[in-house]
Each structure stands twice: as C-alpha cells, then as structure tokens.
Chains A and B, each alone.
Chain A
Amino acid sequence: MYFQSLNELLHMDGHGAFVWTAYIITIAVIAVILVAPLRRQRGFLRQLAGELRRQQGDASSPGDN
C-alpha cells in the first residue's frame, strides 16, 4: 500500500479531487452501460409476459367480458 492514511489517500498531494472525480465518473458510466441493457431486457420480457397472459385470458374465457 502506497498511502499511509485514508486522509492521504483522499488528498493525494492535492490531486485527489481530480483523480477521484475521474474514477467516480468512469464507474458511473460503466454502471450505466452495464445496467441499461439488463433493464431493457427485463422490462421487455415483463411486458411480453403481460401481453401473453392477456391473450391467453381472452382465449380461455371469452365469455367473461
């Protein structure tokens, strides 16, 4: 470990603000590009499942409505 204390790690001889901003933004962007397709996929499957259920409901009990 290069840094002696947490404070030193956060400060990084005055460069801490830059380094940490860069890393935080990068992690945020990575999180977005990883989560976005998963959300899209899950949302799509849920929507399709709902549609299928409605269709089945219509087919099995047409007299309900």
Chain B
Amino acid sequence: MSAPSTTRFCARLVRRQLVLAVRRPIEIGNPLLFFAMVVALFPLGLGPAPGQLATFAPGILWIIALLSNLLTSDGVFRSDFDDGSLEQLLLSPQPLYLSVLAYIAAHWLITGLLLALVSPLFALMLNLPGAAIGSLVASLLLGTAVLSLLGGIGAALTVGLKRGGMLISLLILPLYMPVLIFGSAAVKAAVTGAPVGPYLALLGAMLSLAIALAPMAIAAGLRISIDA
C-alpha cells in the first residue's frame, strides 16, 4: 500500500475525527447544551430586565463561547494519546504541521462552527438587537477558530498529564483575551451601528497569525508529551 498524498491524508484525518464525533452525539451536544445552560444562568444572576441583558449580551455570549471552547479543547488529543494513535501520527512521514491543523479543523467544525450557527437563537433569548446577529455569527466563526488553535496548544502540552483539566484553563485563558476583546467589540459595534469591518479584519489577522504559528507550538507540545 502506497502512502497517501498529504492533502488526502489530512482530509482523512478530518473525516475520521468527524466520524468519531458523530458516533458519539453527546460529545457534540455537550458544548451546545453548556452554552444554553449558561445563557439561562445570566438572567437569573443579573435580573430579567431586557434592556440590561441586551447591553451585556455581546460580552455574555462571547464569554460563554470562550468557556465552552475551553472545556472541549482538553479532549482534542486525549483519546488518541491514550490509545497510541497519536504516537503513530508522530512517526508517520506526513508533515506534523498539517496533520495537527487537520485535528484543529475538525475540532472547530464540531464546536466553533456549530456554536456560531446556533448562537442567533441564544442571542434572541438575551434580547440582542437583530441587527447585531449577523456580526455575532461572523465574529464567532472567525474567533472560535483562533480559540481552537490556541486551545490546541494547551491540549498538546497537557495531554500526557493526568490532571490536565484545570491546568489548561490557567495556561490558555490569558491567550484568549485579545480574541474576547475584539469579538465582543465587533458585536457591540454592530449594536450601536458602528462599522464592524475593522474588528472582523483584526480577528482575521489574529486567525492568520494563529494558523501560521500555533500548529508549530502544538506539534512541539505533542512531541514533548509523547516523549515524557
């Protein structure tokens, strides 16, 4: 059997991760459920006044998206590390940079993309003005991709540790902050009628930078974790 080309190899990796996720629908459902539940917590804590909720809605929605991304990041490499297929991946002749990117892409498809697609529903529950929903979805699409890449770094560094769960949030949350700032600012700008383009452009710039650099850090982290 000849080795598949790099593109086909990565496509297969993505497909494999997606199939694994579809076989366990609860894994896909969990982040969305988490999102819905935390959205329900905020009116209980802040009071149900629609005006007040609408002011906080961009920040609330973005923070929840960030947290649900953080919670799922921990598991990106976990099962493959446990059953040894990660070690096989490191030994394979394929460039690790691209295969790691495939893992992250799959993670983004099952968390970030879905989250962005269902976010309008939750936005309406928090009384976010309809005009801002388009930019909420757009900012989440771009921003969660950056979050997935950064989360992958934390996941790669902690995958070999038994209690990585709490540690990964300490490592990764400081890195999430710029995304949170520009993501929620984009939605706020849309609420007030200001142009959203610059914020989305900045998120796009962060995404380009993260795509260029994060896979290298992830690859290095995986090598270290496998060696340990």
> Do A and B have CB atoms closer than 8 angstroms in the complex?
no
